[in-house]
Amino acid sequence: MGAQMMRGANIPGMKHFSEPIIPDVSKYEVIATPDVLEDRNWTGAPSATCDTDGNIWLSYRDRTKVKRGGELIISRSKDGVSFEEVKVIRQEDFAGRKLSSIERCSLFTDPWTGLFKLYMAIDLEFRNWVVVKLDDVEKPEQFDASTAQVVLERSGYGSDSKSVKDPFIMTVGRQYYMFYIGNSTRCELPHLATSVDGVSWKRSDGNPLMAGTGWHEFCLRIACVMPLAQGYAVFYEGASLNDHEKIYNIRTGLAYSPDLRTFTDLTPVEPILQSPTPGKCWAVRYMDYVMLGDRVLFYYEAARPDDAFELRVSEVKL
């Protein structure tokens, strides 16, 4: 079941595609929208996984003009489109820690224990981004923010000396792979850390994994990874330094990796995906996916004509 199967439970039928599966984002269903439909109100940054009972689990965050990353919502679905909210984790739940924001998190089922794992990108103070791990649970509604422990923080030197955030985690063999955003100057770039236990992480010597150039010179961030028959398709997102809305106008491109260590940019000239309903931004970002039978469901955050961003799903039939 694609990258999600490598990230999640051992459900029969895992597929490695011969070529990347690209969604048509002009055809979509809306999963969730902000309460106020206007600029700087965002619902999205999803992470998706399956369990052995065939449920799809989705985590996503709400952000408003007033409160950046105020809460993380975890929801469950049988059909991958209609979701029932089962858990909300708020900034105030972090036992004595004062947070400025919750951003994209990584939710998945451990392929060896069957337990759910949740890694969260949080800002402990203004611009002090870290990745924390909550204690593993049998059911996502049992996640407890008071159990959060820091598993990755800024290095103090090199290309991730200012911040680390927005993890995407998958398993390959007996290792966990965490792709995360690292920042040292003006440019956010993709980084990799690996772990054998999901707690202690070692940064890759090859960081940053790709360079920010052309239409993604302001930022380049890995969104999700799809295993192929040979190698991996890598959906990444980026923005141009010349775009005055560059912090928000983040669109999606595609790269290829034979080994998750080296990467070739397949869309260096322009993005492959952008919102069909733009306002001042064309954003399609934070993509993730699962498989449900013969359906591939892509979840992502997309720009609306009123300048709010909403959580959408686009389906590809195999």
239 part of a folded domain: no
Q: Find the distance separating the first CA and the last CA of the chain, reported in whole Å.
A: 12
55 part of a folded domain: yes
| Average pLDDT of the residues in 183-200 | 93
Question: Which of 313, 308, 269 shows the shortest CA–CA distance to 62?
Answer: 308
pTM over 0.75: yes
CA-CA distances (angstroms) from residue 217 to 88, 188, 233? 35, 9, 21
- Identify the CATH number of the domain in which residue 111 sits: 2.115.10.20
pLDDT per position as a tens digit, 27-73: 999 999 999 999 999 999 999 999 989 999 999 999 998 888 889 99
pLDDT per position as a tens digit, 88-129: 999 999 987 889 899 999 999 999 999 999 999 999 877 789
pLDDT at 11 over 80: no
pLDDT recorded at residue 1: 33
280 part of a folded domain: no
248 part of a folded domain: no
137 part of a folded domain: yes
233 part of a folded domain: no
285 part of a folded domain: no
pLDDT recorded at residue 17: 64
Domain boundaries, position 307: 2-207+291-317
160 part of a folded domain: yes
pLDDT recorded at residue 8: 37
Give the chain's domain count. 1
